A and B are shown apart, each in its own frame.
Chain A
Amino acid sequence: MDARLKKQNENGKSQAQQAPKDGGSSQPSIIEWIVGTVSALLTLAMIGFLSYHAFEKQNTIPQLAVVVEEIRPVDDVYHAAFRIVNEGNATAAGVLVVGELRSGGEVVEEREVTFDYVPSLSERQGALIFENDPSTHNLQIEPHGYSEP
């Protein structure tokens, strides 16, 4: 209440302009101004960040890379868990990831999985399921293609 009175004194002029209709409380309280200012800053920060990215954005193509995380034996099969990272500025849709197990240049087993989306500058996780133990073979997991969302 004290703070509000102080605010009213400071804004003596504007208070006169907004003469209360009911002889009461039409003068906004200081809390309203604080909340308003914080909100304005938040919104401006959002717009600022987006503008910065809009200007900074150069080439807009997805840059996809697969990082194998770990091989998890589950029952009789092996889950080769991986992360697919998109370091590009564009989102890739329908990303086909193919994994091959090779032994002496020969493909022993091939598995694939499709990611609905890999957003720009983001990552997704998945796993390929092999019957042979990937740790005793040469494991290769690569993104094969994508479409624009």
Chain B
Amino acid sequence: MRHQDDTSSVNEEGRGGFSLPAVAATGLARGLGGALIFSLPMLMTMEMWWLGFYLDRFRLVLLLILNIPLLTLLSHQAGFEETSEWRDDLRDAATAYGIGIVSSTLVLTGFGIITVGMPLDEIVGKIAIQSVPASIGALLGRSQLGGGKAKLPQGSEEEAYGGELLLMAVGALFLGLNVAPTEEMILISYKMTEWHAIAIIAVSILLMHGFVYALEFKGESPLYPDTPWWSAFLRFTVVGYAIAALVSLYVLWTFGRTEDVSLSQILMSVTVLGFPTSIGAAAARLIL
């Protein structure tokens, strides 16, 4: 496996001499650790268990399929190694997905959430919904626990910009999946007035801009210290918020929160979920 080079150069420096299976096992263990760190909050949320059996099957399958290119792109952009070939990225994505499924199965079985007597549809549904955040965690865990950080996207300027936006989307999706299934999410939107919603949007955008300034002006990103504030605001902050809002809408739709609900009520939920997702998007480089 190629990540032998990576781990040995980053962590096992000087210790060397690890056999191939040992290195592979280290990588898998890091993935498992990452999967648990990222997905335990969701594994211990009862709404996530319920979603496993009442979620519309078409939407569940769509989420599962969308997760494949997402993991692959994430591996390419922020992966734990310098991947040059899509084949490697696809392999890393598949491994992360596998770790996500196995860890979800183990934890859900350990909690007694899935038992032998249950219908297969319910068991598979419960594992499937959890495997998405767990697989993101597995992929990131391999880079995080390995001491690496999400690398700055390489390549042309457009590619680098696209990479930034992808990281934002993953950060938003990750925090969104964390909070969206709970009932509090929609309850908050019922308690708020439209004025509250507008205030939340303003606060979200302001906080995001703070993150953009704190994280992006480090010289290596596409932003330069003499970039005017409105330029960074329009190209990163506002775009990030739009991504966070769209990801929120997608997650709400996936979880069936938009059924027979008026547009204004959907927008209220989007702004509520948009608060954590925008923080997730802006801080993606911190978390991921």
Contact = CB atoms under 8 A, between A and B. Distances in A.
Contacts of A103: none
A120 B262 contact: yes
B226 A53 contact: no
A46 B183 CA distance: 23
A44 B263 CA distance: 16
A135 B157 CA distance: 69
Contacts, number: 110
B165 A18 contact: no
A72 B239 CA distance: 49
A43 B195 contact: no
Interface in A87-140: 91, 93, 116-117, 119-125
A61 interface: no
A49 B198 CA distance: 10
A13 interface: no
30 contacts: A18-B224, A21-B224, A26-B222, A29-B158, A32-B235, A36-B234, A36-B235, A39-B239, A39-B241, A39-B242, A39-B243, A42-B246, A43-B241, A46-B267, A47-B201, A50-B198, A50-B264, A50-B268, A50-B271, A51-B198, A54-B193, A54-B195, A57-B194, A117-B190, A119-B186, A119-B190, A122-B262, A123-B260, A125-B260, A149-B191
- Is the contact region of chain B dominated by helix, strand, or loop, or is it mixed? helix
Q: How extensive is the interface on chain B, given as a class? A: 35 or more
B242 A121 contact: no
